[in-house]
Amino acid sequence: MMSQDPGDLLLEAYGLERYFGNRVALAGLDLTLARGEVLGLLGLNGAGKTTTLQMLCGVLAPSGGSIRVAGVDLLDAPRAAKQHLGYLPEVPPLQPDAQVGDYLRWAAQLRRVPRQARAAAVGRAIERCALTDVAGRVIRNLSKGYQQRVGIAQAIVHDPALIVLDEPTVGLDPRQVQGIRALIRNLRQGHGVIFSSHILAEVQAVSDRVTILHEGRELYSGAAVGEDDGELRYRARFASPPAPDVVSAMDGVRSAQAAPAGGILLELSDEAALDRLVAASAARGWQLRELGKERRTLEQVFLDLTQAAGEETA
């Protein structure tokens, strides 16, 4: 992860709030993003991801809070701030009657890319999004995957400091998803990327940090990969499993319980207990088939947090 040099913060949003009538869509969210970082915004449908991104891009006015993009206040100087923004909304803002190249030239012009730099900027965006083959085709006739890529191309054509992508891989086939992930990793150099998704694997695959939203509130903000918290948690699967009580009675096993996904979850007090477990399995015919360290994955973090939040409100 990049160091958080305050001078290079591309996005500083504090205390973001948004109400739709009486309904709270977002309550007090803080987000920061440095150059070279990818931030994943994760949440169930309706968690407030799109609302957040719309506010960051000046499409929706926040009910409260402050937003600075590349050091410029978005609410005080929207025009200057939006110059540093590239935004792919949930539905790509395409002009269906236009050709791809023509549309991207317009996107560059709209963001005030100087005339002499425009052709190069469009060429670069086309290349980065692998649109070379369809540059002369009318957008309406393109497949969903290509249209999505044209949408991303319009967001990056002016080389903005901050790139905001709302569910960039939705509706794409697995190969296209791979392509978009590679593109996001590639874009990280020299930019800050913030994107939303409700797919955990996706966020885990490309982002440095993740913020989990649930019902308009931030539930978690931290590293995107599951962390090794130093505890000795293992999962063992046997062909003829013993009762968990038998295992937990063993020396060095703090607890043992049936895991929801199958097998037995073990908490050990020292690693030597593993050897005793393997020996016991061989001696007593439990037929050990699988033994692995349990890490807290983002998925668990996510499910734990959303369930806990659900129980609280219930």
Angle, alpha carbons 281-282-287 (nearest 5°)? 65
Looking at the Cβ atoms of 113 and 236, the one nearer to another protein is 113
Question: If you compute the radius of gyration of the chain from its CA atoms, what whole number of angstroms results?
Answer: 24
Residues 212-241 that bind another protein (CB under 8 A): none
Q: How far is the CB of 26 from another protein (least distance, A)?
A: 13
Query: Is residue 64 within the footprint of another protein (CB under 8 A)?
Result: no
Instruction: List C-alpha distances in Å: 278 to 235, 266, 271, 272.
Output: 13, 13, 12, 10
Q: Of these, 61, 117, 282, 303, which contacts another protein (CB under 8 A)?
A: 61
Q: Can you tell me whether residue 309 is helix, strand or coil?
A: helix
Residues 83-122 that bind another protein (CB under 8 A): 83, 85, 87, 89-98, 106-107, 109-112
Tell me, by CB under 8 A, how many residues bind another protein: 31
Nearest to 117 by CA among 108, 125, 126: 108
Q: How far is the CB of 174 from another protein (least distance, A)?
A: 25
Q: How far is the CB of 128 from another protein (least distance, A)?
A: 19
Looking at the Cβ atoms of 12 and 90, the one nearer to another protein is 90
Looking at the Cβ atoms of 47 and 212, the one nearer to another protein is 47
Looking at the Cβ atoms of 150 and 177, the one nearer to another protein is 150
Q: How far is the CB of 90 from another protein (least distance, A)?
A: 8
Residues 14-43 that bind another protein (CB under 8 A): 20
With 0-12 CB in 10 A as exposed, 13-18 as middle and 19+ as buried, what is 298? Answer: buried
Q: How far is the CB of 215 from another protein (least distance, A)?
A: 18
Neighbours of 133 (CB within 10 A): 10
Nearest to 129 by CA among 92, 82, 81: 92
Instruction: List C-alpha distances in Å: 290 to 10, 134, 263, 286, 294.
Output: 46, 49, 9, 12, 12
Query: Is residue 72 within the footprint of another protein (CB under 8 A)?
Result: no
CB 231 within 8 A of CB 211: no
Q: Which residues bind another protein (CB under 8 A)?
A: 20, 54, 57-61, 78-80, 82-83, 85, 87, 89-98, 106-107, 109-112, 154
